[in-house]
Amino acid sequence: MSAILSVACCPKGKKKRLVELALERGITLIEDAIYSDLYDGDEPPRLCKSYDVAGNVILCSSFTKTLAPGLRIGWMVPGRHRQQIEMLKFINSLATTEILQVSIAEFLAGGGYDHHLRRLRRAFREQMEKTTQAISKYFPEDTRVSNPQGGFLLWVELPAKVDSMALMAEAAKENISIAPGALFSSTDRYLNFIRVSCGHPWSADIERAIRRLGEMVQLQLR
């Protein structure tokens, strides 16, 4: 049995206990660390894999969120599942472009990646702050915005009457892209939530889009 784990802000002690509990119950954890390099702070979050003494945690990550989405190159630390995973990789995709892998390896070895990440984390933090300020300015007063400890995504809780699916459809007509909360639930939860990306540099166009989105929310409340 396996379970996919994506824990962003879990205390270290609980992560350690979770790894121990999974081993006791015969459950393999798949830890998704795709955003772990985009932490906001002095130290990166400690991963569950660091507590793994039996090779029972499969750590997965990628360069798509930190270098370029088009690279489509990820990596994993498979633990005791290495042989099975290598076979699945071979069956499903045979191989990955070698020149891209070598280029990334040289970038990592030369220290360029660390420098890039420091700049990227700073940029994302500033972009999220500006987006949060704009949402506070243009959205209803009882709107709540998450305060993530890294990454470039904000969760926005809108007034209970707002239908985020309808909001997404209306926003798409004006080329404004959001993700409604219902897409992230299998039980029709988070209907009044949206996910907003702060991955692009802040601009007047983005502020206009946030303002227009706030107007659409206000219209739903009338």
Quickly list DSSP for 154-181: EEEE--TT--HHHHHHHHHTTT---EEG
6 and 106, same domain (yes or no): yes
Choose one of 110, 138, 155: the last residue of a domain. 110
The more confident residue out of 7 and 101 is: 101
16 and 81, same domain (yes or no): yes
147 and 209, same domain (yes or no): yes
CATH number at residue 147: 3.90.1150.10
**pLDDT tens sequence across 128-161:** 999 999 999 999 999 999 999 899 999 999 999 9
CATH number at residue 101: 3.40.640.10
What letter would DSSP give residue 44? P
187 and 161, same domain (yes or no): yes
Report the percentage of the chain scoring pLDDT > 90: 79
Encoded tokens for 91? 């069956």
| pTM of the complete model | 0.86
pLDDT (0 to 100) of residue 9: 66
Choose one of 92, 110, 128: the last residue of a domain. 110
Q: How many Cβ atoms from other residues are within 10 Å of residue 139's Cβ?
A: 22
pLDDT (0 to 100) of residue 13: 82
78 and 171, same domain (yes or no): no
104 and 131, same domain (yes or no): no
Length of the chain: 222
106 and 140, same domain (yes or no): no
61 and 139, same domain (yes or no): no
106 and 8, same domain (yes or no): yes
pLDDT (0 to 100) of residue 71: 86
136 and 98, same domain (yes or no): no
Choose one of 76, 110, 144: the last residue of a domain. 110
130 and 166, same domain (yes or no): yes
Domain span at 15:
2-110
Total domains, the chain = 2
**pLDDT tens sequence across 7-52:** 456 777 899 999 999 999 999 999 999 999 999 888 888 899 999 9
**pLDDT tens sequence across 195-211:** 999 999 999 999 999 99
Q: Is the pLDDT of residue 4 over 60?
A: no
99 and 135, same domain (yes or no): no
Q: Is the pLDDT of residue 6 over 60?
A: no
